Amino acid sequence: MKRGQLRDHFVGAGVKRLSGVDAEPEKSNQHEVNTTREMRDRFLGEIHEQKYPVRYIWLGGDREGFSVEGTATHYDARKNIDGRSEWRLYYPSNAVTEAMRGGDTLFLAKHNDGQLYFIVAPEGSTSEHQLLWLFGVAPKGKSFVSREFPEDGPELDFAARYILDEIGIETEDPDADGLGEIIDPLPLAFPSTANFSRLARDTLPDVRAEDDPDVALLMWLIREEALFRRLEKRIVSKRLEEGFDNEEGVDVDGFIDYSLSVHNRRKSRMGHSLENHLEAVFRAFGIAYDRGKITENNHRPDFLFPSVTAYHAAPATGATNLAMLGAKSSCKERWRQVLAEADKIPRKHLLTLEPGISEPQTDQMEASNLQLVVPRDILGSYTEVQRVWLWNLRDFIGHLKRGR
């Protein structure tokens, strides 16, 4: 199943470590960065005073990011000096450029539609690691390091699509048109997440968790995402056709509320879908579990093995027949929540779909007696050092089968 390539979205990208002069207004009033010959040859060009539309994106470590639409001007600062040129990209002040500091990493990528993506992430952050892996380029020295993306590059896997979605790039499923016969007959309303997850699995009858749980989990998730986006497009299009009007004219608040509801539904649905498909995996392997049951202090681990009854009957320490698994599509700082969810189980397990979590963060997990579980096809976005101790889903199932 062809999943597209990075070149379908970006022509090329450059990366550099920002200096104080590049990033901080109190150290420089210029608000600009120098571009290189390679960047101009590969994707920026050399049109003096060319104004680009720009999406400025701040990915502030483990906090929520934000973006600002704006422009930037590419110009030759020495145009009138014979035999010399010095190309710079001038950017106006905005919320993103005000947030960045010297030492942060700037990714400057050109989209196929001509828009520039000006993405800033703190050094050593998960966001930085993810983008370095996605674009396949790393900073060196004071200047940009850049590359052009080939037309015969590797297909976008789950990890790459995840990262693109984080910066607002929606990847079209190549089989989306073929899903119409499944989605189009449905009423214009969202089914429950459990029913929608079941529908996704039913449309992939040849995918069996018993054959490969890691592959099955991701294929089910990808299929459900494609089905959801198809149905969402129908429902949202119908709502937009109805318009947002009230007695006072255009209902701006109503439109904003609806837009937020669409965004929040997307975010919450993925977490529920992940749990639904994990549940199907455990059933396929005949593994006893309880989902979302109360332990201490009203905590509700996503999965307890073999049951909540066994958990409460176990002694406070020393029980060897128990296990727990948290399931989070993305970790951020929320991974720490798992540590308090089952006091009788000293070694916690957490499955995530997030690619390329930074080494400092996974080091903290390991030091906190938390075993991170990552589907096998996402493991390639992690470093070799991290992969030494990371588990995939089959590893975790083996752990359960061996009696914890």
Which of the residues 56, 91, 311, 382 is marked catalytic?
Answer: 311
Per-residue burial over 275-286, b = 16 or more CB atoms within 10 Å of its CB, e = otherwise: bbbbbbbbeeee
Place of tokens 């798992």: 338
Determine how many CB atoms are found less than 10 A away from the CB of residue 246: 10
Per-residue burial over 324-349, b = 16 or more CB atoms within 10 Å of its CB, e = otherwise: bbbbbbbbbeebeebeebbebbeebb
Of the candidates 186, 182, 184, the residue with the CA atom closest to the CA atom of residue 201: 182
φ and ψ of 366, to 5 deg = -60, -40
User: Would you state the structure tokens that stand for residue 341, as one six-digit string?
Assistant: 């969810």
How far is the C-alpha of 386 from the C-alpha of 366, rounded, in Å?
A: 10
| Beta pairing, strands 66-76 & 50-58 | antiparallel
Known active-site residue 382: no
How far is the C-alpha of 102 from the C-alpha of 121, rounded, in Å?
A: 11
Active site amino acids: 311
